[in-house]
Structures are given as C-alpha cells and as structure tokens.
Amino acid sequence: MAQTQILLDETSPYRSRRVIVEYDTHTTAAYLLDTRGQVRVPVWLANHEIAPETSDPSGLYAGRAPLMPAAYTKHPQGRAPLNASRLRVVWFEEGDGVALLDEEGLLAIIPGWAEADRGLPGYSRDAIGRSAYAWALDDVAAQLWPRVVHAEAYWSWRAAPGAWRSVQRSVFNHLRTVGPAGHYWDVSDGHDPLIRVSERPPTPDRPYTVLSTVGMCGQRMPTLDRYMADTSAYARIELALATTAPAHLAARIFRWLGTFPWRAVTWFGPGHSIKWLDNGEDSPLRGNHAAVLLVSDPSVLAGPEWAPPPDLSGLTFHGDPVNWLWVVPITRPEHLFAKEHDAETLIAKLAAEGRSWILG
C-alpha cells in the first residue's frame, strides 16, 4: 500500500472536531473526526491517476480513500497533488462545519449537517454530481460561500483584543435590570468558548440570587441547521439559574453546562432536558437531581411567595436575538417522563405538584 502523508491536521477552536487531509499518491481525502478520533464525515478531494469506472466506497469511511469513478470527477485522468503549504482551514462559527481552501479558492466544505452514517458526505470542488465519496461543490458554492466569508470575519473579530469585552459589556448592561452585580466567575478555563457567570444577589423585592452565564451568546450554537432553515431565532442563548443556595456552589453547574453545546456539538432550546454530567465539583448542588430542564418562562412554576421571574428578553447580538433559558434541576424519573412525553407536559406536572423553579 502507498504510504499516507498528512497534508493538514487541525482541531476546531472548541476542541470538539478535527479535520485531517491525507494523500497516498493515488488520492487525496479529508476526514472530519470527533473527539474520540472516529471519522464522522469523509470527503474525497482528488484523484492522482486514471479514474476507474466503478469503485468500492467502504474504505473511505475507514480512512482509506478509494479512487473516484470517472463519471464523478472533473479530472478523470487524474490531477497533480495538492500543495500542502497552500491548504488552510476555516471553521464555521458554530464549530461543527469546516471549509478547506487552497491557492485556487474553495476546495471543499463539510457542513455541520453532513453525516457519513446517513450517506451525506462533504462537498468537493473536483466532484461531479453526487456520489458516496463527495457531492459537487459547484452545486452549492453560491449558497455556502457566504457562510465561509462570515466565518472568516467572525474569527478575525474574535482575535481582536476587544472582542470578548464587547460580549461581556452587552450582557452585563442587559443584566442591570436584574439588580446590582455580585461575584463573577470564569467557568471555561480560558478555552473557547469563553464563559463567565455573573451573580445578582437578592434584593428587597427578590429573596433569591440570580446566576447568569456571560458569553454563551458570543458564538452561535452548533447543529441547528440540521433542523431548521432559519436558525437566527434560536442560535444564541444565555443560561440563568435562580437559587437560595450559596451562590458559589450553585455557580459550579455552569462549569459543564455553559460550554456543553460546543463541546458536545449540540444545541440548547426551550424544553430541552440534559443529563447531569458526573462531576464531583457540583455534587453538593446535585443532590437527587439527574438532569436539568431548560425553560424559557418558568413563571408557571413560581410559588405564590416569590416574585415573578425577571424578564431578560430584548438583548440581541450580531443581529440575532439572545434567548435566556432558565435551568430547573429535575430527578431521573422526571427526566424519563420528559423523554416519554414532552417538556410542556412535564412542566404542567411539576406545576401541579407545587414545584418551584428556584433551586433551594
């Protein structure tokens, strides 16, 4: 077998995806890997010898790129090897998709919704039509090129010295309506995405602390374009938690929850329930809870002794509305109930039981 050369190897800013481009003298292919090193999406990039009439695609998903059949390549006689020094990567803002470029421009795109198990490979410049190895980039270049331009602009903005401060300032200014700020914690260990937690201590009109993330809205969440055409209404969030427990203990929940969408490559929306990750840091807070329920309006759960939840609507960032989702810890039976039925039914059940949205 020909010796394989790695032309490019880069990990996403959120460390949840990795893209590798390999060349073995016969073909060049790119692979999008997950955190376990498993190939999620392969995409053929080029043949370097005469194309066969047919080929077996099974090797592509195992990291061995077959030759693209002649009917599906612009270069059935093969083309010169790619110049590794001219290859570069542009990760999408969400971190789940990636574009590859060379001296000729756009070489390939692996969008966030591509998935090998569903027969959806990435797009390649040299491909014609749709095959198991790659789909033609020409068919979608006009549609996806703006995503690449946006992504380059986004990461350029993120690299600017004042980028994080602009996120922080926007969220802090918005949280003034909740009350004066208290403590402020870093829950991201300095890695993207940068997430902080702001404490808003009790006030005479509100006998509980409000904890809110600061920074989640600074990047769009992954995978939304798998489920909807227009993602802007759901793309940016912050999380909030109301509690009468010690704030420094309650804030620990955000160490895993605040970065979860980008580390796990998923999204949070109203009514979503997330299994509580095993984490010794927040065990005093966890108690018998097994998951958290995310609620956009927890007022239905508010007891008569409490003031209504603060209204956190109205913030926008980079043109998208920012949705605040309130964290309501739930037990394992309640989590299973939500999966069996739906979040609305679970919330109605919790309300009938007198459950408060405030963590004690």
Same domain, 199 and 58: no
Interacting residues of 253 by C-beta distance below 8 A, sequence separation 6+: 241, 282, 285, 292, 327
The pLDDT value given to residue 64? 65
Q: How many CA atoms lie within 13 A of 84 on its CB side?
A: 12
How many CA atoms does the CB half-sphere of 44 hold within 13 Å?
Answer: 33
- pLDDT for 278: 75
Radius of gyration of the chain (CA): 24
**218 and 309 both lie in a single domain:** yes
- Spell out a b/e string for 257-278, using b for 16 or more CB atoms within 10 Å of the CB, else e: bbbbbbbbbbbbbbbebbebee
Give the pLDDT score at 109: 97
In terms of domains, do 77 and 152 share one? yes
Tell me whether residue 357 is in a domain.
Answer: no
Looking at the structure, tell me whether residues 57 and 92 fall in a common domain. yes
360, part of any domain: no
Q: Into how many domains does the chain fold?
A: 2
CA 225 centroid distance within chain: 11
Tell me the angle at which helices 343-352 and 332-340 cross, rounded to the nearest 10 degrees.
Answer: 130
> Do 34 and 90 belong together in one domain?
yes
Mean pLDDT for back-to-back runs of 10 residues, the chain (360 residues): 85 95 94 89 94 74 78 96 97 96 96 85 95 94 94 96 93 94 88 92 90 97 92 96 92 93 95 86 76 92 74 94 96 90 90 87
End of a domain among 123, 156, 189? 156
Instruction: State the pLDDT at residue 40.
Output: 87
Q: Which pLDDT belongs to residue 205?
A: 84
pLDDT of residue 181: 93
Tell me the C-alpha distance between 83 and 194, whole Å.
Answer: 35
Residues 99 and 194 in one domain: no
Alpha-carbon distance 195 to 213, whole Å?
A: 7
> Following CA atoms 306, 309, 310, 312 in sequence, which dihedral angle do they give, to the nearest 10 degrees?
170
Tell whether 75 and 195 lie within a shared domain. Answer: no
Range of the domain at 78: 5-156
Query: How many other C-beta atoms are found inside a 10 Å radius of the C-beta of residue 219?
Result: 24
Output the pLDDT for position 2: 58
Which three-class secondary structure state does DSSP give residue 168?
A: helix
**Pairing assessment for the beta strands 236-243 and 320-331 based on DSSP bridges:** parallel
Sign of the CA dihedral running 127, 130, 134, 137 = positive
- Sign of the torsion angle spanned by Cα atoms 138, 140, 145, 148: negative
Question: What are the DSSP E strand ranges found in 111-235?
Answer: 123-124, 135-136, 184-186, 196-200, 209-214
Residue after which a domain boundary falls, among 156, 188, 213: 156
Q: Which residue, among 158, 139, 142, 130, has the nearest Cα to 71 in the 3D structure?
A: 130
Residue closest to 226 by CA, chosen among 120, 134, 153: 120
**In the structure encoding, which two tokens stand for residue 42, read together?**
């392969």
In a shared domain, residues 345 and 256: yes
**Whole-number pLDDT of residue 286:** 77
C-alpha 194/C-alpha 95 separation (Å) is 14
Residue 85 and residue 221 in one domain: no
Contact 92, 98 (CB under 8 A): yes
Whether residues 39 and 52 share a domain: the answer is yes
Same domain flag for 126 and 191? no
Last residue of a domain, one of 156, 181, 210: 156
Q: Give domain status of residue 318, yes or no.
A: yes
